[in-house]
Amino acid sequence: MNCETTRNRILLDQSRELSRVGRWLLAGHLARCPECRAYRAGLTGLAGAVRQVRWDESFDAGLAGRVAAGAAVPAPRAKRGRERAPVFLARPALAYGALSVLLALAFVLILRPFQRPPPLARTAPDSALAWDADVDDRLATLDVLVNQDDADWTETSGAAADSGDVDSIARQLLELEGEQI
Amino acid sequence: MAAEHGILDAQAAAWLDEYRQGRVEALGRVVEQYRRPLFGFILNMTEGREDAEEVFQETWRRALRHADRLDGRRLLSWLFRVAHNLIVDRVRAKKPVESLNSEPRAEEPGRAPLADRLPAPGPTPAGESAGRDLDRRIRQAIDRLPPEQREVFLMRIEGDVPFREIARLQEVSINTALARMQYALKKLREDLKDEYAAWVEE
Ligand SMILES: [Zn+2]
């Protein structure tokens, strides 16, 4: 597998944006590739050092206090509701308009669950479960293939064929997850 | 990397709740908690300390306008987004042709190196000098990055902003955001060769 793709996966893993298949592929590559393990260690070290940098040495110490002092105490919601009320009272057309929009919204929100056929409501979880089972099955196949791949690593032809299988299943899985990496 | 941000964010979320209940002093703690990463980001993306302080203050002012809806657990990343928008507005107002999303360029016209834009540091105790030297070299290395790479790097490392969000802010694809991060890391690896070798060894 490509080290360049793996390094993007390392970045996405650290930002919690890597798909399940991506994480699986990353773990497999890291187990075999000392260069990418070094890359990850270097990135962790660099991030830690950058987070120690005292950027704020030149910071005006009073500034944080001024930000806090300048901030108003948040007003309770009820109070602000009352403050807005006279605007509606002064404009009856606006009040009726808003009321009709609210009623229409409530009608749609309340009735929608009854209009939706029950089988359709169950479709999403079922398909999600099926999707999960599908990914699980394929990940299990990948595990078998990769373990074979490890065993046959010295036999170039066998290893090449297995790697091809692994790559193609991995690609299908990524497509299933809607991911490219 | 993420866990470190997670702990800070949980603490900030608690303080933000206190602020919403009317305790203004809790806000001071939140501002203080995120002062270093947020001010660092702004300082690196603006013309100098005065500019940075203005943007810092305005970022909080705008954030607090929406105090009701702020999610304390993602506050820092949100502050970075507000700061990004303010900085882009300033860049556009000053230099209508250029933007943060322009192609990488070696020099930013009219922008002095970071060291020249900051006041000279005071005398340093002997024990701290090694750490200060690393600080200085990291600052310089980051300052030498083209602005769009510098921004991706700082948003990720200091702000914990996800790549998808960085890509959206910079109006590029996620692959471009990742490529900018990789270019930034490559340059920083070269500039901080000795330290990098030690981090890899650990
Ligand atoms: Zn590799």
Q: Is 70 exceeded by the pLDDT of residue B169?
A: yes
- With an 8 Å Cβ cutoff, is B48 touching chain A? no
In this prediction, residue B94 has a pLDDT band, given cuts at 50, 70 and 90, of confident
What is the rounded average pLDDT for all residues in chain B? 84
Per-residue pLDDT tens digits for A5-20: 999 999 999 999 999 9
Q: How far apart are CA A63 and CA B58, in angstroms?
A: 11
Domain that holds residue B99: 2-201
pLDDT < 70 stretches in chain A? 1, 72-167
Q: Beta-carbon neighbour count of residue A129 at 10 Å?
A: 10
**Which of A81-95, A128-142, B109-123, B132-146 is most confident?**
B132-146
CA of A116 to nearest chain B CA: how many angstroms apart?
31
Structure confidence at residue B176 (pLDDT): 98
Mean of pLDDT values over B176-189: 98
Q: Compute, in angstroms, the gap from residue B135 CA to the centroid of ligand 1.
A: 30
Task: Give the 3-state secondary structure of chain B.
Answer: CHHHHHHHHHHHHHHHHHHHCCCHHHHHHHHHHCHHHHHHHHHHHCCCHHHHHHHHHHHHHHHHHCCCCCCHHHHHHHHHHHHHHHHHHHHHHHCCCCCCCCCCCCCCCCCCCHHHHCCCCCCCCHHHHHHHHHHHHHHHHHHCCCHHHHHHHHHHHCCCCCHHHHHHHHCCCHHHHHHHHHHHHHHHHHHCHHHHHHHHHC
Structure confidence at residue A91 (pLDDT): 56
Which of residues 164 through 193 in chain B touch A, CB cutoff 8 A?
Answer: 164, 178, 181-182, 185, 188-189, 192
Structure confidence at residue B15 (pLDDT): 86
**Bigger pLDDT: B175 vs B113:** B175
| Count of domains forming chain B | 1
| B95 torsion bin: left (phi>0), alpha (psi -120 to 50), beta (else) | beta
- With an 8 Å Cβ cutoff, is B28 touching chain A? yes
Q: Is 50 exceeded by the pLDDT of residue B17?
A: yes
CA of B199 to nearest chain A CA: how many angstroms apart?
5
**Bigger pLDDT: B12 vs A81:** B12
Structure confidence at residue B29 (pLDDT): 87
